[in-house]
Amino acid sequence: MQDDDLPPRPLQEPPEQTEGFARSLGELAGASVWIVFFLAVAGGLFYLVLRATH
């Protein structure tokens, strides 16, 4: 029973670090998606304004 309890413990410690790393990557990815979306919308509106004025 003790041998079965020992292997999972080292396996449980690294996922916490990888989860935090993945979480930060997810936040960065989410932020970049919003930035790209905002830039695309702003660029589209700017293009429409240029087309309308010229």
CA-to-CA distance for 54 and 52, rounded, in angstroms?
6
pLDDT in tens, 1-51: 555 555 555 555 555 667 788 788 888 888 899 999 999 999 999 999 999
CA-to-CA distance for 27 and 49, rounded, in angstroms?
33
- What pLDDT score does 14 carry? 54
CA-to-CA distance for 16 and 22, rounded, in angstroms?
10
- What pLDDT score does 26 carry? 83
pTM: 0.48
Q: Is the model's pLDDT at 53 over the cut of 70?
A: yes
Domain boundaries, the chain: 2-53
